[in-house]
Amino acid sequence: DATTTLSLRLLPYSDDLWLLVARDVSRLLQLEQMRRDFVANVSHELRTPLTVLHGYLDMLDPSEQPEWAPMLEEMQRQSTRMTQLVEDLLTLSRLESRADLPAEETVPMSGMLAALRREALALGQGRHTVDVEDRAGVDLHGSPRELHSAFSNLVANAVRYTPEGGRVLIVFDHESDGEAGDGVSLSVTDTGPGIPAVHLPRLTERFYRVSNSRSRETGGTGLGLSIVKHVLALHQARLDIRSEVGVGSTFSCHFGAARVRDRLPLEQSA
Ligand code: ADP
């Protein structure tokens, strides 16, 4: 190919000698691109047949054949899950293939926080306490669609892994960011089971799960936190996970000062 990509490493060899190791990673990058394209194409192709299956399943009336009801219900559940998986794979492919965000705008955060609260209550069917604290009173600059998908993945996890009667707290706050000025953070805290420390470094890997059976039961796809990681990277933001087994977890997204915008007066009064 016309372009070659080299990975360079400088290693200390002796007191006054350094070793420069150059490795041709062009082929590796090419394979990685092929993998991404393949996943994106397969996901895209699966969409139509799934929509058809889902549509016909919805039309079947269990009252005509009552003994089929549990099977129909299970088929609907599984086809919903597969649809979610395909959607998440497509989202991840879209995020991976991008070096930056296509269109950025000011994202009104009071609307965002209200939407997250509604989603948490709907998903948990009112079985949790959901609190939102807007201490920052500013807005973010970025992609509304991607940011919403990242935050709502964190909120969905908090609800799904927290047993009935637990609490989910969403806090949007100022954060001192040293020389760069003040940044902000959005954090989601739950009173769920917590995550053992050994798992934390690998949590944002695709399909990585702490406990398979429990995670499957909760209806997740195993892609949520990878999506979060990619969205934050595109916003030069960072994900921080703190968790204590038996106490709960906090997932916080840290945004630098460059991502902060004064809140529009219209929204403040709303
Ligand atoms: P999933 O769809 O399985 O939830 P994620 O990528 O969103 O996939 O999360 C990866 C794994 O991290 C989950 O399977 C779960 O084991 C763990 N996890 C994520 N969020 C929480 C949480 N709030 N409390 C406990 N465990 C969590």
Rounded to whole angstroms, what are the CA distances from 79 to 39, 40, 85? 19, 19, 10
State the angle between helix axes of 109-123 and 144-161 in degrees (0 to 180), rounded to the nearest 10. Answer: 30
- Measure 203 CA to ligand 1 centroid, in angstroms: 7
- Residue bearing the CA closest to ligand 1, atom 14: 209
d(CA 32, CA 28): 6
pLDDT score, position 215: 63
Q: Helix (H, G, I), strand (E, B), or coil: what is residue 198?
A: helix
Atom of ligand 1 nearest to the CA of 199: 12
| CB of residue 192 inside a 6 A radius of ligand 1 | yes
- Measure 151 CA to ligand 1 centroid, in angstroms: 14
Ordered per-residue pLDDT tens for the chain, 270 residues: 568 999 999 999 999 999 999 999 999 999 988 998 999 999 999 999 999 999 999 999 888 889 999 999 999 999 999 999 999 999 999 898 887 787 899 999 999 999 999 999 999 998 999 999 999 999 999 999 999 999 999 999 999 999 999 999 999 999 986 666 689 999 999 999 999 999 999 999 999 999 866 666 677 889 999 999 999 999 999 999 999 999 999 999 999 999 999 987 765 544
- Measure 121 CA to ligand 1 centroid, in angstroms: 18
d(CA 33, CA 118): 38
| CB of residue 225 inside a 6 A radius of ligand 1 | yes
- Residue bearing the CA closest to ligand 1, atom 21: 157
pLDDT score, position 102: 77
| CB of residue 124 inside a 6 A radius of ligand 1 | no
- Residue bearing the CA closest to ligand 1, atom 20: 157
Q: What angle (nearest 5°) sits at the alpha carbon of residue 55, between those of residues 53 and 60?
A: 95
- Measure 146 CA to ligand 1 centroid, in angstroms: 19
pLDDT score, position 270: 47
DSSP class of 38:
H
- Measure 157 CA to ligand 1 centroid, in angstroms: 6
